[in-house]
Amino acid sequence: MTNALDFNPVLLGGNRGLAGISVRLNTRGFQYLSALAANIISQQIGRAQIPDIKQCLPQVNGCVFVYNIYISYYRCPRKVAIYPTPNNRIRFSITNFELRIMGRLGGQVNVLLPLGLFGILCMDADQVK
């Protein structure tokens, strides 16, 4: 049975804005984190769920919808690196990956006459850094 006084009230007087844990990593630790991050990215990109987009444009008195958005192609990055930078910061760098996102397009805009929007929207990002 635990006592309610097991908590030290002095802990409430600390600064809540700063982290309470300090960690030191050597070069091998950052290499391990980089490899771990590369595996996580490769696994999770295919599972990403992208929400539908609705954008109303008052300039053309209409709305545009993009729905059923999915990642149709993904090529793993050539290099994923996590490394320290000055002032106790960590930099996350991804080099040369490719991504293709596709979705259905719908909506209507009024330029001179009402113009229906429909079809497939494709966004390619090649050799992204």
pLDDT in tens, 102-121: 999 999 998 888 888 899 99
Residue 86 lies in a domain: yes
CB 129 within 8 A of CB 98: no
pLDDT at 127: 82
pLDDT of 113 reads: 86
Looking at the domain assignment, is residue 54 inside a domain? yes
Residue 64 is part of which domain span?
23-128
- Which of 83, 72, 77 has its CA nearest to residue 29? 83
Residue 9 lies in a domain: no
- Compute CA distances 51 → 22, 68, 79, whole Å: 36, 8, 28
Domain count for the chain, please give it: 1
Q: Is residue 14 part of a domain?
A: no
Residue 68 CB partners (closer than 8 Å, separation 6+)? 52, 103, 104
pLDDT 10s digits, 15-64: 666 666 777 888 999 999 999 999 998 888 888 899 999 999 888 889 99
**Would 80 be classed as within a structural domain?**
yes
- Residue 6 within any structural domain of the chain: no
Kindly report the CATH number assigned to the domain that includes residue 29: 3.15.10.10
Whether the CB-CB separation of 104 and 120 falls below 8 Å is answered with yes
Supply the pLDDT for residue 111: 83
